[in-house]
Structure 1
């Protein structure tokens, strides 16, 4: 299988490289997404083998909670801890300053809460997620309270964005987040100042959180395929 699918193998190896950085006794933020799912799998394997002991996970979504239970990773809530050693998460875009766009899985609000509390955030991506400027390839997700959808979309249009309500796949109607809200995906022609836009969007009444993660990531682990073989490089 691995020889037939180098992309899957590369995602597995990036996920494993991140899992290998977790030390015994750590409290770990458990991110959401296809590459991070492999991280959770390898954390579970390290626990089972006894190589890793006494870790606790803080899930960022229903998906990561289900996977953690499946792989035997003990879970805690933010109410039960006073710090977090490390978080491992994916991203939809990464710029040269390690700023991110996240939210392809509509989990960015909980991800931002958990990721920003960690002493170190490791982001696992493949090289297709690297961009010169945020918003180049991916729309910016904004989580909105249902009551405020229309006024928020109107405000975003005045900021120069083109908002669309994210609709479900194999589900009639819009995507609903783990918090019971909706997601607007916004196309901006150019995101010149991610830090400023992050604050501006979050100040619109009815917006819970947006997918700009500015100054949060510490290390980016990038998976690439060269000559048909997976490689991992680090941006820190």
Structure 2
């Protein structure tokens, strides 16, 4: 057995963007690139999604199906592989109504997640992935089609292996911008004020609106309510966050906070689509023994 890499650094590799190991894959890649429906960024993400399926999916797996553009590409390709017979006996566990719909169209058999469900692999999009740690933020986009941060994170945590599929611009240090936070709708203002005090000077706190953009911090007359009945606060950091894990730890201490969009201290692999190829980074050794 090869010696394990040092614990002080993440495992990383770079793969040529258009490399392939079968005629079937090469034909599929060429067809994808020729399609006028795909812009450059979509083509790059498509290759990352394809690599994720080819590298990590095995026969008989139960797979958490992520939400977002890259996950949609992966679901479509997974369906093609099932149809061709290259992969068999797969069950998909969707993280949202959107991913369930995508899987149904692609011909991926679906199952429902339960507390005792065994999930071998889960792949997902992320709004941003923090360099080195691979901590991530999900849920920045307005939640639609039954999307749920709670369901998405639950399935990711339950998986034996996790893969985040992102574009190069989403992989960076010094993360700023919105962290979505789900809170109880009862006494929500008190929770919002606590969060505001906690990050005073570093972030603004706005309640997310269900229509258009919020007219003000309170979210206007039509606040977004999740399918579980919670409000969503956007904690918008105006300067780079020291670490996403620290933000998550602070939010977890507040009674009114139900869940948030930070994924941290969790073993995972990031497949990053760059113009020069696919960059694959693994943080498993760095978070070994951490709480999930």
The two structures share one fold, judged by TM-score above 0.5: yes
Q: Greater CA deviation, 185-194 or 208-217?
A: 185-194
Decide which of 173, 198, 219 is 2:248's aligned counterpart.
198
Whole-angstrom distance in 1 between the partners of 2:205 and 2:138: 16
Instruction: Tell me the CA shift for residue 168 of structure 1.
Output: 3.2
Q: What are structure 1's unaligned runs of at least 5 residues?
A: none
Decide which of 174, 181, 185 is 2:223's aligned counterpart.
174
Matched, 1:144 2:183: yes
CA gap of 1:113–1:80, structure 2 versus 1, over 3 A, is closer
Match of 1:100 in 2: 136
Matches within 5 A, 1:56-95: 56-79=91-114, 81-95=116-130
Match of 1:110 in 2: 151
8 Å contact kept, 1:24–1:55: yes
Instruction: Tell me the CA shift for residue 169 of structure 1.
Output: 4.8
Instruction: Tell me the CA shift for residue 193 of structure 1.
Output: 4.1
Q: What are structure 2's unaligned runs of at least 5 residues?
A: 1-31, 214-220, 283-292
Aligned Cα root-mean-square deviation (Å):
2.2
Decide which of 278, 281, 284 is 1:232's aligned counterpart.
278
Q: Greater CA deviation, 171-180 or 150-159?
A: 171-180
Cα deviations by residue, 1:47-75 (Å, 9 ceiling, x for unpaired): 11111111111111111121122212222
CA gap of 1:102–1:204, structure 2 versus 1, over 3 A, is same
Decide which of 254, 259, 265 is 1:215's aligned counterpart.
265
Cα deviations by residue, 1:145-190 (Å, 9 ceiling, x for unpaired): 2224211111111101411112235698333333232211112344
Whole-angstrom distance in 2 between the partners of 1:169 and 1:223: 32
Whole-angstrom distance in 1 between the partners of 2:149 and 2:208: 14
Find the residue that maps to 2:43 and give its secondary structure. Answer: helix
Whole-angstrom distance in 2 between the partners of 1:219 and 1:69: 26
Cα deviations by residue, 1:128-150 (Å, 9 ceiling, x for unpaired): 1012123x2x3111012222421
Matched, 1:32 2:67: yes
TM-score by length of structure 1 reads 0.88
Whole-angstrom distance in 2 between the partners of 1:49 and 1:2: 20
8 Å contact kept, 1:165–1:183: yes
Whole-angstrom distance in 2 between the partners of 1:93 and 1:217: 16
CA gap of 1:47–1:169, structure 2 versus 1, over 3 A, is farther
8 Å contact kept, 2:136–2:244: no
Matched, 1:16 2:50: yes
Instruction: Tell me the CA shift for residue 217 of structure 1.
Output: 4.5
8 Å contact kept, 2:130–2:244: no
Whole-angstrom distance in 1 between the partners of 2:135 and 2:155: 16
Whole-angstrom distance in 1 between the partners of 2:171 and 2:252: 25
Find the residue that maps to 1:204 and give its secondary structure. Answer: coil
Rg larger in structure: 2
Instruction: Tell me the CA shift for residue 27 of structure 1.
Output: 0.7
